[in-house]
Amino acid sequence: MSGFLTASSVEEALALAAADAAANANAADVQTERAGAAAAPGAAGVETDGAEALRVLDLHCDTLDRLVLSGDPTVPGGFYEHNAGVPRARMSRLDDNDGDVSLARTAAFRWCQCFAVFVPDQLRGDAAWALFERVRGFWEAERARCADKLAAVRDGEEVRAAFAAGKTAGVLTVEGCSFLEDDAAAEVRLDALAAAGVRMATLTWNAPNALGSGHDTDAGLTAFGRRMVRGLEARGIAVDASHLNDAGFRDLLDAAELPFACSHSNARAVCGHPRNLEDWQLREIAARGGVVGLNFHRGFLRDDGADATPDDLLRHADRILNVAGEGALALGSDYDGSDVPSWLTPCDAVVTLHERFAGAFGRATADRIFFGNAARFLFGL
Ligand SMILES: [Zn+2]
């Protein structure tokens, strides 16, 4: 979740519309190039000639919260306001919806999606846990209802089985551990996360909580936060340092004993937003065997606020590849929780990005970015 862009003035709205038009023109150029090159992919955007479908592992989306909370004005986070114009019936099901990610869109790929339960900063302790349970309940209900299309996975064998059965693989993750507080409930809740199949969790969102802080403050990890890092690791839940501020990141380098991820963060050298990563952070993540998921949020792609083009994503990918090497870059779309360029949504549009990556870095590297690096990190594949 990165928050949704709000056009607070007519000028801003017009600027956004103009940027959209420019991006669409750019996307049209890409389509033209592609059509001229080889057999263009079909509508599903995947392979032709019997080749295996493109593999995708996306480390972060907010689809669960969006579907659960779009109809609920009482929960903070912006989902209700953002989706006010979308018919409720079109924003309620995982298999088919008008959001960015749906099983209807992922079906033609071998797609593994990390589905985050996003916990807004305004909720703490029991209230935060109640929201986690509410969204997890939706996930359980949807995976049961869509069992012919979706398999919840925790390890490499389950990913392989899901793909072999032609199903989308879904991984439960957490964004914002503000339900963990320094009391007896913390260990119980860590156990419950592991039992629910959670495989990765960010410690914070943007504001401070009992563990540490996002970029709203300069405070590092608390002693409790350091204990929770080890508590997550001990349960096979990867620590996700996206949203953590720089002081907290430095503290995490001491506290973490296992590789960790930044599931949805870009290169700060390319776009200076504090949610993006400095080169030294990229190097540390890579040196420890972690991964960085490329975020599609417009605000993290360009400093000037203009709509992002494929070249902007290439610039971030190029920087991360150069600084962190070939083994660290992955995808962390932030679908359904941010403002994604129109040419990158809904999610099956990523085939355009894969083609651009393959053209710039080679097919093998594009495949590692799209699947291999994250699959190694999460599943040892
Ligand atoms: Zn986020």
Classify 261 as helix, strand or coil.
strand
CATH 3.20.20.70: does it fit domain 51-379?
A: no
Give residue for tokens 């989308």: 168
Structure-block tokens of residue 24:
């669409």
Please give the chain's pLDDT, 381 residues, in tens.
888 765 443 334 334 434 444 444 443 343 333 333 333 333 344 444 557 899 999 999 999 999 999 989 999 989 999 898 889 999 999 999 999 999 999 999 999 999 999 999 999 999 999 999 999 999 999 999 999 999 999 999 999 999 999 999 999 999 999 999 999 999 999 999 999 999 999 999 999 999 999 999 999 999 999 999 999 999 999 999 999 999 999 999 999 999 999 999 999 999 999 999 999 999 999 999 999 999 999 999 999 978 999 999 999 999 999 999 999 999 999 999 999 999 999 999 999 999 999 999 999 999 999 999 999 999 999
Structure-block tokens of residue 317:
């990918």
307 secondary structure, DSSP code: P
Say if residues 47 and 102 touch (Cβ distance below 8 Å): no
Torsion angle of the four alpha carbons 136, 289, 265, 121, in this order, in degrees rounded to the nearest 10:
40
My answer on whether omega of the bond before 310 falls inside 30° of 0, hence cis, is: no
State in Å: Cα 39 to ligand 1 middle. 37
State in Å: Cα 295 to ligand 1 middle. 9
CA distance 4 to 17: 16
pLDDT recorded at residue 71: 87
pLDDT recorded at residue 274: 98
pTM, two decimal places: 0.89
User: Which among 245, 241, 239 has a CA at the least distance from the CA of 216?
Assistant: 245
State in Å: Cα 293 to ligand 1 middle. 11
CA distance 104 to 97: 8
Q: What is the DSSP string of 34-99?
A: HHHHSPPP-TT-S--TTPPPPEEEEEEE-HHHHHHHTT-TTSSSSHHHHTTTS-GGGSS-SSS-SS
State in Å: Cα 15 to ligand 1 middle. 25
Q: Which residues keep their CB under 5 angstroms from ion ligand 1? A: 1
Reported as type and span, the H/E element at residue 200 is: strand 198-202
State in Å: Cα 165 to ligand 1 middle. 31
State in Å: Cα 1 to ligand 1 middle. 3
CA distance 264 to 333: 7
